[in-house]
Structure 1
Amino acid sequence: MHPALPPTPGTGRRRRAVRRLWTAVVAALALPLSMLAVGTVPAHAATVQCSVDYKTNDWGSGFTADLTITNRGTDAINGWTLAYAYSGNQKLSNGWNGTWSQSGQSITVKDAGYNGTIAAGAAVSTGAQFSYTGSNVAPTSFAVNGTTCAGAHQPPVTVLTSPSAGAVYTQGDAVPLAATAAAADNATISKVEFYDDTTLLGTDTSAPYTLSVSNLTVGSHSLVAKAYDSLGASASSTPVGITVASGPAVVASPTQLGVQQGATGSFAVSLSKQPSASVTVSVARTAGNTGLSVSAGSSLTFTPSNWSTAQNVTVAADSSGTGTATFTASATGYTGATVTVTELAASKAYDARFLDLYGKITNPANGYFSPQGIPYHSVETLIVEAPDQGHETTSEAYSYLLWLQAMYGKVTGDWSRFNGAWALMEKYMIPTHADQPTNSFYNPSKPA
């Protein structure tokens, strides 16, 4: 039954026009009701398919929880609410990347608006800080928009099997890259990408995963393989460090060695490229402490068949000297290799062990440093207030680097590497305005 029409003042034509307009409005307002009356069903959102990865940083009386929600479905999730519960007395302090609330042991997290849409195969992260006493048992079930999520999907396992760590190649020669990749949770590997540090070199979509590159520049390179699976997860291999030389080169490892007074130490020598005839490599002290000398391996012969098999050079220390010396391994037509050897007092066993470890850490073959000399393969361009995993990792990495080079200076008396590390930190750790346009907004009087 329609409501009564309002009075329509004026002429008959005006009354009829107003009456027709009012009738149309009433009909339009009644239309949805009539549609519902005949059984029209509104559209439903697609069923949510999700997984939740839960990680904590626990210090005994409190912890931070980092949760990653991954959309495992084929449709985007437009707006999400995450729900889970604890079994103990965990108490919410604050949260980020979402609106957090707690009722008893139940936790609810509503998206923050800017991260409300999760595309198919994509993920968003949120986190919070809690206090507690007793045990801190992780929750066992999570739900997004009322749908229970699957357990966190394990990323694929990726191993870069070629080239070998420490290999040296001549510029222009092909560098063979190969990787193995295995997926978890019945997923399959969709592709493997090969990187030179952060530069994509190429992609292979079928096993065996290989790539040949011949355009690497002269210098050190940190090579990585990154595998992707059919559920959207990815993982990178451990970096492998190699060197590209401008021509055939003599290879020495390690390049840093400590020897106590009256003792001996050794390093290995080989060639980077197969020769067409036998090559003689001469090894001698070329600078520094005269208390160090080559006692074996001063002349090494490499043939077309044993060129890549390392041969040892032994360095002997006298009973009274201290300080460093440079030993050079050279051959006609090859770029030479140098090794720094430090003679230490006979009582300095721990210093000798430190230099041995230092040589392994700084050896490019071990892939610990990026080509820029940064010990975590990245340059910081983002500062986020606490909790702050990215900035903390950066700060700790550079703190360790400065400590490492300070210890090297204390042991050897050579402080040039410490000065170099400090300059490196100023260059890469502090973002420029181009890297971080909003860094001028930071107010140090309002810490987190």
Structure 2
Amino acid sequence: MPIRRGSDIGSPARTRSRKKSRRLWTAGAIALSLPLGLTAAAQGNASSPFGDEPELLQYEEQFLTLYETIKDPANGYFSDEGIPYHSVETLIVEAPDHGHQTTSEAYSYLIWLEAQYGQVTGDWQPFNDSWALMEEWMIPSADEQPSNSFYDPSSPATYAPESTDPADYPAQMDPDVPVGEDPLADELSSTYGTDEIYGMHWLQDVDDTYGYGSACGGTAGDPTFINTFQRGPQESTWETVTHPSCDDFSFGGENGYLDLFTGDASYAQQWRYTNAPDADARAVQAAYWANQWASEQGNAAAVAGTVEKAAQMGDYLRYSMYDKYFKEIGDCVGPSECAAGSGKSSNHQLMSWYYAWGGALDTSAGWAWRIGASYAHFGYQNPMAAYVLSTDEALIPQSPSAGEDWGNSLDRMIEFYTWLQSAEGGIAGGATNSWEGDYGTPPAGTPTFYGMYYDEKPVYHDPPSNRWFGMQAWSMQRLAEYYYVSGDERVGPVLDKWADWVVGEVTIGEGGDFQIPAELEWSGAPDTWDPANPGDNAGLHVEVTAHSQDVGVTGSLANALSFYAAASGDTAAQETASGLLDALLANQDAQGIAVPETRGDYSRFGDEVYIPEGWSGTMPNGDVIEPGSTFSSIRSFYQEDENWPQVEAYLNGGDAPTFEYHRFWAQADIAIALATYTQLFGAEE
């Protein structure tokens, strides 16, 4: 799962009650003409794993069964604090480099899962508890972001260039490069009476495996904010140095870990956090549905407090709409030549890959910084969240300009999907306002979108960020959901073409055998965007180069196709969704739904991690960090993992190891899809 978050470089050097009926699930303005009851495929499914009970009713039963499997402490999805792990298994390297880390993504999936549970059972306490858990553990508390009061919105951060080569780091900071003004800070402070940021950091070491828990006055063994990616788009997980989000120089080298990433005359102990906007937006999306479902049950008051907090999160999420250094949007070339933004001229109106904030640990010598991000990936857009944050009275944020900002963002996102759709139907990467992260000059002829440059693989290149099909399923689920709720005719043609392409690439066999796209290759480029006369992108192409049985992505794809089918009446999409759900349910084991995965990429455990000459330090467990260090040499704890012998044998010339992973987000995605299908196509009992 190639989630990864952008660099925060640029700082001045963390017992249920069953419903008695099922009905056609409607929301918003769209009216459905689909018949109630089973699909033709479901009616004729003699090999259904459900026995004699109608399939649609069984999908809801299977939702509850999988929900209980996930929540069973014996199955290992949660820590003692109730935090969802990235995976049950500990030896797993993806964006998190250990299974008992977690991400803001996992928290957002927990919130969504509990919203669906409330819809099915009428019990809203788990939903409220999931938000409270996230607020307690994944939003930095006041003492974890202590110097925000020193932040100067007229000088948000000091510029440091990014590079495509990790060996170019530390990146030298340049205070002479002009940066724009932050137009949100004063509005947010005035609205909420605080300078703190209400957003999730993206990565947490739940079991304190690395040992950073004791830094900055913390408690060893507690869940701890950490970070990894800091050195440009070519830095894969295998080339990172995992470090604490609060760096008091207890570990690492003389300056903690700071001088691995930024070059400065001196270094101060500091905290810094990176937000993953797609996760915060997913939490808002889930809160919308919780409010809708609770209201239908006559119990909106049960979730009102949590929904209000979701609106607040959406207010701060607007930081993801801004250029990294608040420079003007469009034709932005040259660090000094690209104009500093004023007002909202630095707002690209899309959801970028991250926003970040940080400051001094010593509040007697305080300073603080904030940055947006210049890269917008289609996979992170969430038109459903933008829609509800701009139109739903319960979720329009309190800040005076927030509703308008999100309304503008919704329109811009819809244009973005249209601009990036390939001739075949897949959606290409995205755009950037800062070519290669240093406001460089793009190749001649690079297409643009409101002056931002087309980028086939925004943010990271190893592997390319738009190779993984999961980005298609995740993002288009949100677009299909928006289509179902709003009936917006602008997105119908995009979804029609995408769904036709996807359904043609899916195969469903017998006994749980199925295949969905896994990896994509791209060629060509879109036409430069002209909103008055959009091109047909005849020169932009995608090819599916590999298929897989990725169960989490399959759940998300089934969800996307279900919403699209409910909105459009597309029978093939609906039958594909139900067929995929049946195939997933045929792959159950005691801990959930999983299939074997062969991990050839684990050969990279021996990859060298770039460390500058002359730099030396230690990890909390004593592992030495120096030139020549490798991914595994600074993570020796892996050698104690029960699954290490399989990896070790592979590194010694054996076969690539095969595991069955139980990722929390994947199990949640499947469960949510099961409940969604029942809600969309269910019949009265």
Please identify the structure whose Cα radius of gyration is greater.
1
- What TM-score do you get using the length of structure 1 for normalisation? 0.28
- What TM-score do you get using the length of structure 2 for normalisation? 0.20
**Which is richer in strand?**
1
**Which is richer in helix?**
2
